[in-house]
Amino acid sequence: MDVSKVADQITKVLVTEEQIKARVAELAAEIDAAYAGKELLLVGVLKGAVMFMADLSRAMQIPTQVDWMAVSSYGSGTVSSGVVRILKDLDADVLGRHVLIVEDIVDSGLTLSWLAHNLTNRGAVSVKVVALLRKPEAAKVDVNVEWIGFDLPNEFVVGYGLDYNENYRSLTSVAVLSPKVYS
């Protein structure tokens, strides 16, 4: 859906559809080069990373497998709870495999930090992260995010997979949600 359809509910567009497409192509090429000759399992974090995974995996030119995890993060609010719970686990066994976690956004980094440790403890050979978006808080966390699409200001955003109360995921761009929607 085009952002113009919900213009009254957003304050500004931060990343356009064209910018996402161009950056995803760059990330795909860098990741292809980094894993050349290796077998790679892409682990997407539901539901926010669905759009990013779909575009990134198709832009990549090395063979990959795709699997998904769902973990709890924000519930229905806009503040991180710090509590991580597996809602849906991987189908694949990561033992002995190279794993790339595909994340929509890193905010506090709590979710990612927990996930990276969890997959490492299951015996993955390597666990790296690509995140489309990063907020300023994430810089403080001890998680190695190898590839970042865009750095954002500290505002609540929706679109391209990201939601507020399950709405706005289908927007083609990333936009700041108007505070009047959640206050």
Tokens of 138: 């994430």
According to CB under 6 A, which one of 111, 118, 119, 129 is a site residue for ligand IMP? 111
Tokens of 47: 């539901």
Residue 73 makes contact with ligand IMP by CB under 6 A: yes
Binding range to ligand IMP, per CB under 6 A, among 19-27, 32-40, 87-95, 155-163: 155-163
Residue 61 phi, psi dihedral angles, 5° rounding:
-115, 0
| Least spacing, CB of residue 181 vs ligand IMP, in Å | 12
Q: Which among 64, 23, 74 has a CA at the least distance from the CA of 44?
A: 64
How many CB atoms sit inside 10 A of residue 5's CB? 10
With respect to ligand IMP, which residue has the nearer C-beta, 47 or 62? 47
With respect to ligand IMP, which residue has the nearer C-beta, 55 or 107? 107
| Least spacing, CB of residue 20 vs ligand IMP, in Å | 15
How many CB atoms sit inside 10 A of residue 60's CB? 20
Strand partners, 102: 44, 130
Residue 55 annotated to the active site = no
One-letter amino acid at 127 equals V
Cβ neighbours for 118, distance < 8 A, ≥ 6 positions apart:
none
Residue 107 makes contact with ligand IMP by CB under 6 A: yes
Q: Which among 58, 61, 54 has a CA at the least distance from the CA of 29?
A: 61
With respect to ligand IMP, which residue has the nearer C-beta, 123 or 136? 136
Binding residues for ligand IMP, total number by CB under 6 A:
19
Q: Residue 118 in 3-state DSSP?
A: helix
Site for ligand IMP in 156-175 (CB under 6 A): 156-158, 162
> Which one is catalytic: 107, 142, 151, 163?
107
| Least spacing, CB of residue 53 vs ligand IMP, in Å | 12
Tell me which residues touch ligand IMP (CB under 6 A): 45, 48, 73-74, 80, 103-112, 156-158, 162
